[in-house]
Amino acid sequence: MNLSQEDVQTILFDKDGTLIDLPSVWLPWIEDVDRYLSDSISNYPYQAEGIKYLVGVNKQDGGIDPKGPLAIGSVEESISVIAFLLYQKGLSWDSALLYARDSVDYANERQNNSASLRLVDGVEELLNHLSIKGYNLGVLTADDTDKANEQLNRLNISKYFNFVIGSDLVDRSKPFPDLAYAARDRYGVKLENSVMIGDTNADIQLGKSAGVKFTIGIVSYTGSEVTHLHEADLLIHNYSELLSSSEEAK
């Protein structure tokens, strides 16, 4: 796809699974949530296996389900899911919420200092190319804005982006279009001249609902599995595919 032929001005990226390798972000995170709950709750009801298999980790291969809450959900949604799992096992809702929020706060702090974070293969080369060509680049993430900025800084790619918008800045996270509308309203992004790139169908639905020109799904951590990106206009398995087709852009 030649971006210049598509009259593209802005390229909107999801963060986890699109810029940052998703398992490197969320597998350690959910294990830290489990560790906190196990240490904090006497007779923790999920002591045997933890909750990771209940929120989107595949029991067979340890991979992350791209259609599950761990891959798609916002931080607040994750708190609600964890609280509900605790409530199901007999904790009162108020206690479940407190434990869930404290466990997420603990995991977030650990994540911010994690050495396991790594970029999706080829993404920095693509970002450098697009930046040189003059594209307006932004991040729309279900994560919190400050945490997203910190992670992008740690991985030395924040310099490529003109803005980062997290779910804490909008009323509704993905798959609703609010994040894209915030880019339009805050930064003057013309959505009709924008491309949305993401690793889940929630990213693709966000883009289509917001009226972007084109959507690209990247299969970055699920092998040949593509059923979860059935609404994308274009599917890629690595960024070299997009880079090679964009060499003549602008």
Domain shared by 15 and 125, yes or no: yes
Q: What is the pLDDT of residue 249?
A: 45
Mean pLDDT of 168-183: 96
Q: Which residue has the higher pLDDT, 182 or 64?
A: 182
Number of structural domains the chain divides into:
2
Mean pLDDT of 184-198: 97
- Residue carrying the six token digits 């032929």: 5
Contact (CB, 8 A) for 41 and 99: yes
Q: What is the pLDDT of residue 65?
A: 87
Q: What is the pLDDT of residue 250?
A: 44
Domain boundary among 83, 112, 141: 112
Q: Is 187 among the domain residues? A: yes
- Res. 134: pLDDT tops 50: yes
Q: What is the pLDDT of residue 4?
A: 58
CA pseudo-torsion sign 3, 157, 123, 228: negative
Domain shared by 182 and 141, yes or no: yes
Q: Is 250 among the domain residues? A: no
Rounded to 5 degrees, what are φ and ψ at 56? 125, 15
Q: What is the pLDDT of residue 247?
A: 56
pLDDT band at 139 (very low <50, low <70, confident <90, very high): very high
Q: What is the pLDDT of residue 40?
A: 96
Question: Is residue 130 packed enough to be buried (19+ CB in 10 Å), middle (13-18) or exposed (0-12)?
Answer: buried
Question: Is residue 76 packed enough to be buried (19+ CB in 10 Å), middle (13-18) or exposed (0-12)?
Answer: middle
Q: Which two tokens stand for residue 81?
A: 């899911």
- Res. 171: pLDDT tops 50: yes
Domain shared by 11 and 132, yes or no: yes
pTM above 0.75, yes or no: yes
Question: What is the spatial distance between Cα 10 and Cα 22, in angstroms, rounded to a whole number?
Answer: 23
- Res. 225: pLDDT tops 80: no
Question: What is the spatial distance between Cα 209 and Cα 190, in angstroms, rounded to a whole number?
Answer: 14
Q: Which residue has the higher pLDDT, 41 or 226?
A: 41
Distances from the Cα of 63 to the Cα of 33, 71, 102, 113, 118, angstroms? 17, 11, 25, 23, 16
- Mean pLDDT across the chain: 91
Question: What is the spatial distance between Cα 186 and Cα 145, in angstroms, rounded to a whole number?
Answer: 14
Domain shared by 228 and 129, yes or no: yes
Domain shared by 11 and 95, yes or no: no
Q: Residue 82's domain spans which residues?
A: 23-112
Select the highest-mean-pLDDT range: 70-74, 223-227, 240-244. Answer: 70-74
Domain shared by 140 and 239, yes or no: yes
Provide, rounded to the nearest whole percent, the portion of the chain with pLDDT above 70: 93
Provide, rounded to the nearest whole percent, the portion of the chain with pLDDT above 90: 73
- Res. 14: pLDDT tops 90: yes
Q: What is the pLDDT of residue 112?
A: 76
